[in-house]
Structure 1
Amino acid sequence: MSGEGINQMAIANALSAGVCLTTEELARLTGLERKRVAMTCCRLVSRDWIDRLERGCFVLSEEGRRALANGEIIKTGPKGPLTQGIPRRPKRRTVRDKLWYAIRLKKKFTLGDLIELTGSSHANAARYVQALAGAGYLTTLRREAGFAPTSNGYCRWSLTDDPGSKTLVLRAKGRTIFDPNRNETRDVKLGGRVRWAP
């Protein structure tokens, strides 16, 4: 295993606790220079071993957790043949990908939790959460108290049906959800209003 492979394994192991760590925290834990940590994290993201929840803050991905649990070791160098007919383009991670990952990571959350973790707009996060709840993936929990004296409080949700790591997709203008993990489509029954806990 080359030096670059050692660096990548050091970062992956530092993230094994499951919390989001900044490049500065990873540099302190691994003893690597901050610039080297940033470059190594980029390589780990391209390998799908880690995810960037926000700028400069990384967590171990589901693929990374599985690989560490199986004792896999990163070896640097070319993957597969040196020539290929059609170059592979990495899948761009969307805000919905980040929202679904954050929901699975938190299990119980408010809308404010998701917005803070993913950088999503309030409207986008609210629409996605409301659709997931309407399709039976989320359950509404007891409200959290609000800050204003006249506040009715804020909704909290719990992930009660977790089909897998692939992002659930809203279709038909939010009336259905396609689950690529189970290859099934569910109707969305909407009702009520989503309140935002900042």
Structure 2
Amino acid sequence: MSWPAQTILTAIVGLAHLDCVDIDLLVHHTKMERKQIANSCAILVNRELIERIKPGCYKLLPAGHVLIARGFEVKSGPRGETAVKQHTDTLRMKAWRAMRQRKKFSLGDLLVLVANGGEKAIENNVGQYLRALERAGYLTRMARREPGTAMTSNGFIRYLLVKDSGPLAPIWRPSKETVYDPNTQEEHSYAMAQSA
């Protein structure tokens, strides 16, 4: 379902190259009424997804771009309830939810909890995500490993969740070597986390 605020935010994302997107331009792109656009923009400003540059003219904030890019929904309900919803069926969202529940886990523990049999390269995908979260300071390796299955195995790495920032899964951005946290709207650099 496309909520009015979602439609407006999507339009502003598409016009983000402009210094300021005015209501007339949004009327043209969305075919919505001016009053409905103004109300939706007020919701988006309140949620800190766009900012009002001047009366009737708006600019996209980074959090707004992330919400659209990651498949979140913007609803018009009270802030903090169902205002922003991250799709819960993604592999990394499932893995993050499992991490928050277990606190201590191995890659194998997570795979048992999140795999449904249809994923490609799931072990590599979740493993890379765990290493990114570790470098960004969300996870730490535990001293004791889980026993391996082979005689010569050093065992499996176990992790401890040390930074549980909220229900939305941190977003790994390998090209920027950062992890963006939609819960806090902060971006964490690997280099900063490693040097801390």
When normalised by structure 2's length, the TM-score is 0.48
Using CA pairs below 8 Å that are at least 6 residues apart, which structure has the higher relative contact order? 1
Rg bigger for which structure?
2
